[in-house]
Amino acid sequence: MDDDFENIKKSDIPANDDNDKSAVSTREDDLSSFREQWQKEIQSTKNNQTEEQFRKVPTTSENNVYNNVDLKTTNQDDDNERATRLFLKGIEMENSGKLYEAIQYYKQAVQIVPDVEYLLHKKSKMKLKQDSLEREVNIKENTDVNDVSTDDDEDNKDEEIYVRLQRKVSNKSTLCLPKQPKRGIHIGQMPFEVILYILKWVVSEHLDMRSLEMFSRVCRGFYVCARDPEIWRIACMRIWGVNCGSSPGDYKTWRNMFIDRPRVNFNGCYISKTTYIRNGENSFQDQFYRPWYLVAYYRYLRFYPDGTVIMLTSADEPSQSINLLKNKNVRDPVLSGYYRLKDDKIMLVIQRHVKNAQTDYKRDHKKQDAMNKKEIVFNMEFQIKSKRKKHDQLHWSHYSIATRGRGIPESITNFDLYGSRYPPLVFSRVKSYTENSENLLT
């Protein structure tokens, strides 16, 4: 480069000019001094650059610190955010029906963070816990611990809740909304009359009001449907009939009448266990030894809303006997009859037909069967009491047996109910009794 510059400068000087020789020498001196200064500057800049490079290069330990602490954390945060965004975008595509695009987003998210789905699930769980804690705090703040209310106040609160929820539901077009969007029609979008018709099948002829109460726990819309007074009025009419009246009266609502007024439960059976001691015969080997036996048997009663009652007396355990009481069409040893309610008393009349042994084989068998038939009528009266739950015990008030038949004088036997010979019958719910329904509530 220097040679080219020198040739160019020399070519600019005319050869025939002798006066300018001194000027050319001065120029060459200036150029040489400029070259030396320029080379020194280039050399100094190179040295400064190498020194700065040595200063900027960190040691291996410093590299590890920077990579592991600063760069790694920022990269991980960025990767997690990008992966979550892609995964959520894939969910949106899947919900909208674009499955191919959703798979592409899922693949990209998994390539960045393999366990992105687990991380999202963990975040959602933490969010739900925080929401539940905030709700509990709000409930505690809104409720007064020192406020002690009476039963009338509680009834008024229930009425206020029902009226308030009914007002909110009436302002909306649907009873409830699904948590996640669905393609088909949700039950909350059905008309109010259709849902009431479905609830009549839920209650059915068994008066399964427990299932109705469980239905009301789902949401505020279902709560309003389950509190419909027409369903509870029909249920009360099925139990008390003419004695029910045209209005709830002092009970204020039909539901309160069904809950508080003395009645029997229909979604199970009443069971009592009776034990007594019976002496045995003397042993043929030892006349002084006489055994005593502890005898135990169970009495089962199941009631139906139409006034039918069935009874079973057996030594078998309840787990083996309750299956015999599933249907009204009973056969021996199960007996059937009817019952009537009066205030807190319930009267039962149960019949049993017994055939005597045939004595004359020459007569007509039909006439002979009619002559030999003997009817045994059980007359029982119980008082309905509530101990642990509503209407869960039947205490004996009266028990007698009447025997009738052709050619046999009628005899009535009254039993002494004092002592522990006739313990009260305790109600036990049986799930299989109400799992099937053949008729709706009418």
What band does 47 get if pLDDT is binned at 50, 70 and 90? low
Region 327-345 average pLDDT: 88
Per-residue buried b or exposed e for 350-383, using 16+ beta carbons within 10 Å of the residue's own CB: bebeeeeeeeeeeeeeeebeeebeeeebbbbbbb
The CA distance from 162 to 152, in Å, is 15
User: What pLDDT score does 117 carry?
Assistant: 83
The CA distance from 109 to 225, in Å, is 45
The more confidently predicted of residues 343 and 164 is 343
User: What pLDDT score does 190 carry?
Assistant: 82
Over the stretch 278-328, which tens digit does the pLDDT of each residue have? 877 766 666 667 777 888 889 999 999 888 999 999 888 888 888 888 888
Query: Is residue 320 helix, strand or coil?
Result: helix
Region 325-345 average pLDDT: 88
Fold of 153-260: Monooxygenase (1.20.1280)
Phi/psi at 331 (5° precision): -140, 165
Region 212-220 average pLDDT: 88
**Which residue matches tokens 């309610």?**
341
> 270 pLDDT exceeds 90?
yes
- Write out the DSSP string of 361-409: SSS-HHHHHHHHEEEEEEEEEEEEE-SSSTT-EEEEEEEEEEEEETTEE
Query: Is residue 297 helix, strand or coil?
Result: strand
Region 171-184 average pLDDT: 75
Percentage of residues in the chain having pLDDT higher than 90: 13
The CA distance from 239 to 242, in Å, is 9
CB-CB contact of 304 with 343 (8 Å): no
CB-CB contact of 367 with 340 (8 Å): no
Ranking 34-38, 57-61, 232-236, 332-336 by mean pLDDT, the lowest is 57-61
User: What pLDDT score does 368 carry?
Assistant: 52
Whether this prediction's pTM lies above 0.75 is answered by: no
Closest CA to 91 of 64, 124, 69: 124
Number of residues that this document lists for the chain? 442
User: What pLDDT score does 271 carry?
Assistant: 93
Phi/psi at 289 (5° precision): -95, 125
The more confidently predicted of residues 21 and 433 is 433
Region 117-122 average pLDDT: 81
Average pLDDT of the chain is 76
User: What pLDDT score does 349 carry?
Assistant: 92
Phi/psi at 402 (5° precision): -115, 135
User: What pLDDT score does 152 carry?
Assistant: 46
> 406 pLDDT exceeds 90?
no
